Amino acid sequence: MQKTMKGVVLPGNSTVEIKEYPMPVPGHGEMLIKMKSSTICGSDIRAIYHEHVGKGPEGYQGFIAGHEPCGQIVSCGPGNRRFKEGDRVIIYHISGCGVCNDCRRGYMISCTSDKFRRAYGWQRDGGMAEYILAEEKDLVALPDELSYTDGAQVACGFGTVYEGLEKIGISGNDRVLVTGLGPVGLATMMLAKAMGASMIIGVDGVKERRDLAVKLGLADLVLDAGPDNAADVKKATGGMGCERSIDCSGNDKARLVCIQATRKWGKICFVGEGGTVAFLPSPDIIHDQKTIYGSWVTSIWKMEELVERIVRWKIHPEDLVTHRFPLEKAGEAYALMASGRCGKVAVVFDEELK
């Protein structure tokens, strides 16, 4: 096996550096994984690519980037119990201590250990490299029915959305509003449709994103972001509003649209990071008996459940990918993702490089 590998680092000035690294050697409970697909998340752009603004669990520490990795195991360290060489795997992107209350619930995203909580691509080397070293406890099996690029998106975007949708519940009784039609918003619509939503309405200010939602057949109605969005949604729903609303934008105006365009007794979920929101508690929430949920990533057991359901529903997250790049063109990949005028962007290897 080769002695070195290439990996991507994000200096924080809207550029990408490709560096040479020693080939990792798996220790006890670890796997060396040949990368096949590593997709770019909006949080990479927001908190690392332009500027290192993250603190605490979002504090980037100069490691190889990429927290949406998927690949194939090529070497195993001692002490592993389930996975083996040749297995196709998705990597849950936060490695927790494994023994705090949150980790024992499967929510390593909320691990309380300052010493052992390390996110791939943030506080430990991630998937924007030829190989990645991962702990066995962080792996989810990738079924043969799914591509590596399908799996890479499950690692963060789709898992985050699925957690939120499970919290508010989606069924054939529900009309669903989605604000922010970037990759997370598109994933929300894809999953809401698979879960039986009777009507899906999307809102975004970027034409390319609206067009992609229409092209993929994910929405019944797509609106350009504007001051009349709440009224437009109510008009499209017989004056009632949507039973369920999900904000994926992190924008204050979009969040307010979600609140005001949700019908009485409806449920709202905030998934998009950052930003603010201002509303009038009595008319906007209390009097209409609405509930607002917050949702941050997902648990590893629910991610495993999602993989099974994606296969059952016969949907493919890779349909949201509009651009694929080889590792040597990672700079172009991040710049495109930062522009916002695309769907999902992936850095891919081998058979995934179409």
Q: Start-end ranges of CATH 3.40.50.720 in the chain? A: 159-294
Q: How far apart are CA 95 and CA 72, in angstroms?
A: 18
Query: What are the tokens at 221?
Result: 């109605």
Tell me what pLDDT residue 193 has.
98
320 to each of 97, 173, 267, how far by Cα in Å?
Answer: 33, 26, 26
CATH superfamily of 159-294: NAD(P)-binding Rossmann-like Domain (3.40.50.720)
pLDDT at 210: 97
CATH 3.90.180.10 domain span(s) along the chain:
4-147+316-352
- Check residue 1 and give its pLDDT: 75
Q: What is the pLDDT of residue 171?
A: 97
Would you state the CATH architecture of domain 4-147+316-352?
Answer: Alpha-Beta Complex (3.90)
- Determine the pLDDT at residue 209: 95
Regions of the chain with pLDDT less than 50: none
How many CA atoms are closer than 13 Å to the CA of 240, on its beta-carbon side?
Answer: 13
pTM over 0.85: yes
Q: Give the Cα separation of 53 and 67 in Å (integer).
A: 17
